[in-house]
Amino acid sequence: MQIKKLKYKNILVEGGSKTISELINNKYIDILQFMIAPILIGSGINSLNLKEISNLNKAIRPKHNFYELENEIIVNLFLKS
């Protein structure tokens, strides 16, 4: 990926399932931040589509924190800590 060659310290990426999943699968993300809102939309595109694992010992279990913002929750997952 060409982003590494740019040598930026911080990059904000906004994207959908395909973009975020590819960045996680290739270990390009340090912090994943997302919002949980109290709304049920129904069927649609999966939020993540990660590489398959053979058992839960291989699951990603990042450090995390969360904040309430009115009716929503902001979640931070620290993927490289």
Range of the domain at 61: 31-81
Q: What is the pLDDT of residue 3?
A: 67
For CA atoms 31, 58, 45, 40, the dihedral sign is: negative
Residue 55 lies in a domain: yes
Domain count, the chain: 1
What would the pLDDT profile of 25-67 be if each residue is shown by its tens digit? 988 889 999 888 888 888 877 788 888 999 999 998 999 999 9
Contact indicator for 32, 77 with CB cutoff of 8 Å? yes
Residue 53 lies in a domain: yes
Which phi and psi angles does 3 have, rounded to 5°? Answer: -60, -40
Residue 75 lies in a domain: yes
What would the pLDDT profile of 38-48 be if each residue is shown by its tens digit? 888 888 777 88
